[in-house]
Amino acid sequence: MKRLRQFAVLAIVSQVVFLGSAWLLPLASEYRLVGDDISELVLGRYGWVQTVAFVISGLGIIGLAYAIYRLTSGARGSIVGPLLIGIYGFGAVVVAIFPTDRIDSKADVYSHSVFGWIHILTAAVCFLCVVIGMFVLTWTFSRLVRWRSLVIWSALLAATALALLFFQMEGPWVGIMQRLLVTAIAGWLLLVATRIRTIASTRKAVPGADVSAST
């Protein structure tokens, strides 16, 4: 269980780093907090910071997905949910490798290089996957004794992320809306990572041991 606890700590640190770069880097970059999306920070001053944040976040989420799988094993959704979360983590690494194109006008929104399209499609798929994964795992948590107290917050954050997903689009508010979306997702990840750290620290942290009798 020590490894699972380490994965949880890595996830917590990685999300703090990612949120820090997403919200604070615009202060040092030529890209704006409100009008420019997070990926564009890679193209500006200190863009390497955002690239590193993507990679660290992705690796942390992949480790967290594995920990979730181990500690929910045996419950319904314990495979699909972590897989969807893991895809989100893998996508963060992919968008770091394939950066977005520079968008200086409305015409640039629909004119992208191959790297740009890979970036956009990966981000779209991963945002959808993680939101679905949040709902699936909320349902899974409701069937596990040691996770059940997270259900209300997990559901609220999942619903918030779903609502923000529809508002996360190109426009004058794209930057702030996307940051609110990733903050809701990060909040969920931090919530889950904190619980994993607690569960993995107990002697009885046996995978599947707390599956509800209703499963």
Question: 154 with 138: CB under 8 angstroms?
Answer: yes
pLDDT reported for residue 201: 85
Report pTM.
0.91
**Taking 70 as the threshold, does the pLDDT of residue 208 lie above it?**
no
Question: 41 with 30: CB under 8 angstroms?
Answer: no
pLDDT tens-digit profile of 10-46?
999 999 999 999 999 999 999 999 989 999 999 999 9
Q: Looking at residue 170, what DSSP letter applies?
A: S
Query: How far is it, in rounded angstroms, from Cα 167 to Cα 174?
Result: 8
pLDDT tens-digit profile of 138-189?
999 999 999 999 999 999 999 999 999 987 666 778 899 999 999 999 999 9
Identify the bridge partners of residue 144 per DSSP, sorted by sequence position.
211
Query: How far is it, in rounded angstroms, from Cα 41 to Cα 50?
Result: 6
Identify the bridge partners of residue 211 per DSSP, sorted by sequence position.
144
Calculate mean pLDDT across residues 85-103: 94
pLDDT reported for residue 182: 97
> CA distances (Å), 9 to each of 12, 44, 89, 190, in order?
5, 30, 15, 9
Question: 14 with 52: CB under 8 angstroms?
Answer: no
pLDDT tens-digit profile of 98-146?
999 876 555 555 667 888 899 999 999 999 999 999 999 999 999 999 9
